[in-house]
Amino acid sequence: MKKSLHWPIGLLYIGLILYAVITFIPFTWALSASFKSLAEISSGGSNFVPQTFTFDNYKQIFLQEPLFGRWLFNSAIVALIVTLFNLLFNSMAGYALARVQFPGNRFLFFLILAVLVVPAQITLLPKFLILKSLGWLNSYQGLVVPTVVNATFIFMMRQFFLNFPKELEEAAALDGLNRFETFFQVVLPLAKPALAAQTIFIFMGSWNEFLLPLVVMSDPTMFTLPIGLNAFKGQYITYWNYIMAASMVFTLPALAIYAFFNRYFIQGVTFTGGKS
């Protein structure tokens, strides 16, 4: 790190600011389009501040596309349920792999590692066939159940619990608590930092998922927002003001979550990436 002292700091700043601008321009350009009128959009100007500022696009998307609210609801409910189950199940599995002695423990751990390297798309078509034979196409459980556990985060939770102080559990055992009581009353409450990182990743992953809902949901009332957005784009392809407003409605909640919890994102990436 000392080496940096010899670098011209000004040059570094110019580079960083330039890259920050490159990062922000697409978002601000989309945000600005969402407040412009169709006439202004079509004229092809490159002004970031709308000539006439309007909220009409946001009003119109809910009127033009009555299912828009429904898609938002579908996305939210699926992401919430998936997140809750993942927190519970990944932690349970990670804890068992790290701390509980049972025959097959190491074998299961190696299976989890093997799962990490299976490309997700390979399982897509058979997953579709299985969901079809279960009668789960066009249902919430079709999106939720296959994604309620996540090998990456089981691995991460195992690493976390390996470093967890043993004394706390021993004290709990002396108090006569069994494994389940120990886990839910002592261990889980102390795992908050790992759970926070996981919450954000799982929620965002589910909220942004495109391929699985595209395959599972064919009934427009069951679309999640990414699929709905794509269908909406197909209908209103020249109405970029509407498309950008719809995109912003979908993005702003995620950005708000990110703004508040970005610390945990970075931690989560470090957890999953840095450890391996």
* Interaction between residue 108 and another protein (CB under 8 A): yes
N- to C-terminal Cα distance for the chain? 23
* Interaction between residue 148 and another protein (CB under 8 A): yes
Q: Near another protein by CB under 8 A, which window of 18-26, 59-67, 164-172, 185-193?
A: 18-26
* Interaction between residue 14 and another protein (CB under 8 A): no
Alpha-carbon distance of 202 to 213, in angstroms, equals: 16
Alpha-carbon distance of 190 to 182, in angstroms, equals: 11
237-266 residues in contact with another protein (CB under 8 A) are: 240, 243-244, 247, 250-251, 254-255, 258, 262, 265-266
Shortest distance, CB of residue 169 to another protein, whole angstroms? 12
Of the candidate residues 100, 168, 171, 190, the single one contacting another protein (CB under 8 A): 100
* Interaction between residue 26 and another protein (CB under 8 A): yes
Q: Hey, is 269 helix, strand or coil?
A: helix
* Interaction between residue 118 and another protein (CB under 8 A): yes
Q: Near another protein by CB under 8 A, which window of 19-27, 54-62, 65-73, 163-171?
A: 19-27
Burial class (CB in 10 A: 0-12, 13-18, 19+), 275: exposed
* Interaction between residue 149 and another protein (CB under 8 A): yes
* Interaction between residue 234 and another protein (CB under 8 A): yes
Shortest distance, CB of residue 205 to another protein, whole angstroms? 10
* Interaction between residue 46 and another protein (CB under 8 A): yes
Of the candidate residues 58, 62, 128, 184, the single one contacting another protein (CB under 8 A): 128
180 φ/ψ angles, rounded to the nearest 5 degrees = -70, -45
* Interaction between residue 233 and another protein (CB under 8 A): yes
Shortest distance, CB of residue 106 to another protein, whole angstroms? 11
Shortest distance, CB of residue 101 to another protein, whole angstroms? 6
| Tokens read off for 271 | 């957890």
Alpha-carbon distance of 181 to 185, in angstroms, equals: 6
Buried b (16+ CB within 10 A) or exposed e, 70-109: bbbebbbebbebbbebbbebbbbbbbbbbbeeeeeeeeeb
**Number of Cβ atoms within 10 Å of the Cβ of 11:** 9
Residue among 37 and 208 whose Cβ is closer to another protein: 208
Shortest distance, CB of residue 45 to another protein, whole angstroms? 8
Are 82 and 199 spatial neighbours (Cβ–Cβ below 8 Å)?
no
What separation in angstroms does the CA of 95 have from each of 87, 114, 173, 271? 12, 19, 16, 16
Of the candidate residues 49, 63, 120, 174, the single one contacting another protein (CB under 8 A): 120
- Taken as a whole, the chain contains a residue count of 276
**Number of Cβ atoms within 10 Å of the Cβ of 203:** 21
Q: Near another protein by CB under 8 A, which window of 1-9, 54-62, 163-171, 190-198?
A: 1-9
Of the candidate residues 145, 177, 188, 196, the single one contacting another protein (CB under 8 A): 145
